[in-house]
């Protein structure tokens, strides 16, 4: 192989390697356009966010999921193992397996309340999530698939 061919081959193989690394890095990620105000002030309406698709959610992290054909972004407040108790329109979520015990009390819509048992524990694939704009956001019970 001539010196000229080797000089051309090195930049091309370098570019090819960079493209492969970029693809490998971006594979578990997705860009998403946020529509709505349920995550104000953290995320603005029409803001673009980068989502890690294969990450196991932890308490207080933001997650993205699809529900009833809509793509939603919410904050995790209840994780597997957390206890919950519901009364009329209130939901009390408690965590006991952390460095300190704590609880959240939120108001939920009638249809969400009726779908929940009176008390229980979140299963391995269940999370309670809410929007940061608590007065305008809809609550969700998210089942990871």
Residues that are catalytic: 38, 74
Query: Which CA distances in Å does 136 have to 10, 38, 39, 133, 139?
Result: 56, 6, 9, 6, 10
- Across 49-87, b (16+ Cβ under 10 Å) vs e yields eebeeeeebebeebbbbeeeeeebbbbbbbbeebebbbe
52 is written with which tokens?
A: 């890690």
């Amino acid at each position: 192989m001539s010196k000229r061919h080797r000089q051309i081959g090195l930049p091309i193989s370098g570019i090819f390697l960079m493209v492969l690394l970029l693809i490998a890095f971006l594979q578990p990620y997705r860009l998403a356009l946020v529509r709505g105000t349920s995550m104000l002030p953290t995320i603005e309406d029409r803001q673009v966010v980068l989502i890690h698709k294969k990450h196991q959610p932890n308490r207080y992290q933001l997650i993205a999921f699809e529900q009833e054909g809509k793509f939603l972004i919410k904050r995790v407040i209840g994780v597997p193992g957390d206890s919950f108790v519901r009364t009329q329109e209130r939901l009390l979520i408690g965590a006991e397996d952390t460095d300190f015990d704590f609880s959240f009390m939120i108001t939920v819509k009638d249809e969400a309340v009726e779908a929940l048992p009176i008390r229980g524990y979140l299963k391995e694939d269940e999370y309670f999530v809410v929007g940061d704009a608590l007065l305008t956001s809809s609550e969700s019970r998210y089942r990871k698939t």
